[in-house]
A and B are shown apart, each in its own frame.
Chain A
Amino acid sequence: MSIRQFAKSVVFAVVVLGVAITIVGTDIGVAVAKNIFTMSNTQEFGTIDPARGTDYTESYGMLNVYDPLVFPSPTGKIEPKLAKSWTISADGLSYTFELRQGVKFHDATELTAEDVKFSMERILALKDGYSWLWSGIVKEVTVDGPFKVTFHLSKVYAPFLSTLPWLFIVNKDVILAHKQPGDFGEFGDYGTNWLAVTTNEDAGSGPYTLMAWDRGREIVFERFLDYWGGWPHGDKHIDEAHSIFLQETATVKTMLRRGELTMVEHWRTYPDYQDMAKIPGVEVLTFLSPEEMSFKINTKRPPTDDIHIRRMLAWAFDYETVIQTLEPGSGPARGPIPASIPGHNPRVFQYHMDLDKARQELEQSKYYPDVPTITLVLPTGLENRRKMAVRFKEKLEPLGVKLDIHIEPWGRMTDLATTVETTPNIMVTSVSSNYPDADTYLNCMYHSRGSGTWMSTEWLQDPLVDQLIDQERTTLDPEERAHIMNVAQAVIVERCPDIFVYVMPLRVAIQDYLKGFTYRPVMSFYYYFYDWWFEK
């Protein structure tokens, strides 16, 4: 009896265990079948609130959870996204967008013109994130129908359409449902406190939703199955995307080798990517970024206030070695605008190394032969810039020109850039685009009103250049505008305010089963999980 009971219970236990294992097993089976993508990033995510985020991690957070009206193509052309089509009034002051119908937010409600109006008003009111692109320019947004919206500008602003990929549309009802008391009247705090603390909710319509967020460590996005664009590669798409904060490149390489990372972002050094390319099953992709590396010369400080000294420096720089040896995969620079950006002038003059010409310029200088020491400052931690600076010093020594190299923390460099007196003769920095239009560089780097930032340490302050930039920004005819921008670039190059070195390459390391990586010349718009799928 007791033995039979025991036998019975044993049989029962075995059956229960078997069933349990089967259930758990299938569960595990399902989990394994999910496509889980992991990537490294070099900094924490501060926020993914579309009215707040700016840097590269925040940008791809916003991009994947929210949709903009328009989207940049791989060539920088502006293409429809939430907006099906648009018309621009003859005076260039109003832009009317026809919205796509049937777009669902993550809470299954429909996206309408009201949400677009609300999103623009919210970012302008909060005065944060990318609001500077439109503040003082967008006067009013009117709803012309459930799926029709018009932006009224206070002045003609030719690059307006190119800036709109940064306007991410939020769900008005969800934001207002989560509003807390704040400075914006009926809108309270515009839902900022909610978006600042939530770790698994969002107000977007994008292809991914915020799933989990362990601040300072990891952020997880989950596929939104009802995305209006559909899922062309079906089950091969990424179900969960993890972005992990990993500063140490040694750790990143180890994780990539073990298959724990699907992608390594673009912030590591070239030798690191060389090492990663040697890992079996890992591929390193190289693109030309929208970021140009230049030696920015202070045109107001002796001795570089003398154009002959500036030209001497430009002739003495070893472009070829730098491009071929230090940054293979980079593109030669030609003027201040990278070639991948619409509006680039491919015919401007570009220097090459010619020490005889450098000497001729030097001898024409008013400072010759006792040229004061030229100070050069570069930011800490960027190996290639240090190597370039030492190479430069090596080339200048035979000319009898002294170059003093200093490596400073980035924060101090931005401090030095605030006044013309504290700005060193040369600062080694790179400027990236905020939107796919040459204006982003011209306006930030060379217009007098931009002086005092790290982007404009040339202190060019040239009336002709100012005038050309103002003209370009208010000219609607594309051909005429292109012509003005070409002239502006030629004038700038003639003044020689920079040594334009190269267009920086953008490298990412991926496991070769990841397909569909698409480069676009706007910061972080290449980290669009929706593009990708697994081919295992």
Chain B
Amino acid sequence: MSTRASHHQVTTGLNETRWMIIKDRLGRGWYKFRRNPISLVGGVMVLLCVFLAIFAPYVTPYPKHAGAFTDFQNAFQAPSKSHWLGTDALGCDVFTRIIFGSRISLMLTAVVLGISVPVGVFLGLISGYMGGKTETVIMRVTDVFLSLPALVMALAICAAFTPSIDKAMLAVASIWWTWHCRLVNGITRSIKTEEFVQASKVLGASPLRIIFKDILPNCASPVIVKITLDAGFVILVGAGLSFLGLGAQPPAEDLGTMISFGAKYLPERWWMTVFPSLAIFFIILGFNLLGDGLRDVLAVEEGV
């Protein structure tokens, strides 16, 4: 009983110290992040996109234009006061559709990374820690997936089914886990020989405890950085699929489909293509700047 109590005190003490260390690191990280104007800009850009996407029906001037809406009399209007970014071939407000379109793009990113990151990280941890045949099997499968360009793979999967945005999400997710698997596998392999892991092993900790309590936290920062950098790529792949007609189906439109439909009216009606392209550019730039900033911050945390 007394041993348990003392153990409890020790843990609490440890927790307190740990919390202080984390606070200190967070503080230093935030300081570094704040000092880096580019990462701040990236963060603001991403937050702005997420905010606009979430509150799309309230912040857009013509929320009706996002659904099945046609007004052929007002089609192809150049940018003006009433339609800041002009109107498209159906007479819908391009600004409204961009905001709603970015919703689909962000949703795609969230779903794809929400599926592929846990799967990839889990498989990477298992394969890296277990080694042997398990690792061989998992990593060879990963290699096979990695050897095919993501867009080509996604195209093949999408083309085999009726095109829709759900299929596009699944197709991209089904290949994206491999990157995280390889990354985490490498980290796990180097960490598992570290002394603190060996110490846990000697103390009799179960493999699952070692994997999730000792190794996983050490993978967190590179994975987080990768996620932010990935977000841009996933949006790009999604837009690529939609551009090729394998993503969002009318009347829903994501940025890729908007560009694809708009391209038919170039160069005279440029606003239908240029503004969705700029929107993609904006989102991806935001994520990349944020990712760079986070990398610096998390590098601080690791004391590198």
A interface residues (Cβ-Cβ under 8 A, vs B)? 249-250, 269, 271, 275, 321, 325-326, 380, 383, 386-387, 389-391, 393-394, 397, 404-409
Contacts and interface: CB of A to CB of B under 8 A. Distances in A.
B250 interface: yes
B70 A387 contact: yes
A535 to B, nearest CB: 30
Given A407-B163, A408-B163, A394 B70 contact: yes
Contacts of B162: 406, 408
A404 to B, nearest CB: 8
B266 A407 contact: no
Contacts of B31: none
A181 B264 CA distance: 48
Contacts of B269: 271
Contacts of A275: 268
A406 B249 contact: yes
Contacts of A386: 250, 261
Contact of A405 (B70, B72, B251, B268): B251
Given A387-B90, A394-B69, A405-B251, 19 more contacts: A250-B266, A250-B267, A271-B76, A321-B72, A325-B73, A383-B89, A386-B250, A387-B72, A387-B89, A390-B68, A390-B90, A393-B68, A393-B251, A394-B70, A404-B249, A406-B162, A406-B163, A406-B164, A409-B245
A269 B264 CA distance: 9
Q: Tell me whether chain A's interface is mostly helix, strand or loop, or mixed.
A: helix
A389 B70 CA distance: 10
B265 interface: yes
B151 to A, nearest CB: 17
Interface in B47-84: 68-70, 72-73, 76
Contacts of A380: 245
Contacts of B267: 250
Contact of A325 (B72, B164, B251): B72
A408 B268 CA distance: 27
Interface in B123-157: none
Interface of B: 68-70, 72-73, 76, 89-90, 162-164, 245, 249-251, 261, 264-269
Contacts of A269: 264
Contacts, number: 55
Contacts of B89: 383, 387
A387 B266 CA distance: 18
A407 B250 contact: yes
The 7 closest A-B pairs by CB, nearest first: A393-B68, A325-B72, A394-B68, A391-B70, A390-B251, A405-B250, A380-B245
Contacts of A391: 70, 72
A389 B250 contact: yes
Given A387-B89, A391-B70, A393-B251, A407 B245 contact: yes
14 contacts: A321-B72, A326-B72, A383-B264, A386-B250, A387-B89, A387-B90, A390-B68, A390-B90, A391-B70, A394-B69, A406-B163, A407-B163, A407-B250, A409-B245
A250 to B, nearest CB: 6
A481 to B, nearest CB: 41
A122 B269 CA distance: 51
* Interface-centre pick from B68, B163, B261 (highest chain A CB count, 10 A): B68
Contacts of A387: 70, 72, 89-90
A510 B68 CA distance: 37
Nearest to A391: B70
Nearest to B266: A250
A287 to B, nearest CB: 23
Nearest to A386: B250
Nearest to B244: A380
Nearest to B252: A405
Given A387-B70, A390-B70, A407 B249 contact: yes
B254 to A, nearest CB: 14
Contacts of B264: 249, 269, 383
B250 A390 contact: yes
B89 to A, nearest CB: 6
A321 B72 CA distance: 8
A14 to B, nearest CB: 50
Nearest to A396: B68
Nearest to B263: A250
Nearest to B268: A275
A397 B70 CA distance: 13
A383 B261 contact: yes
Contacts of A383: 89, 261, 264
Contacts of A321: 70, 72
A321 B69 CA distance: 14
A164 B164 CA distance: 46
B93 to A, nearest CB: 15
A275 B76 CA distance: 13
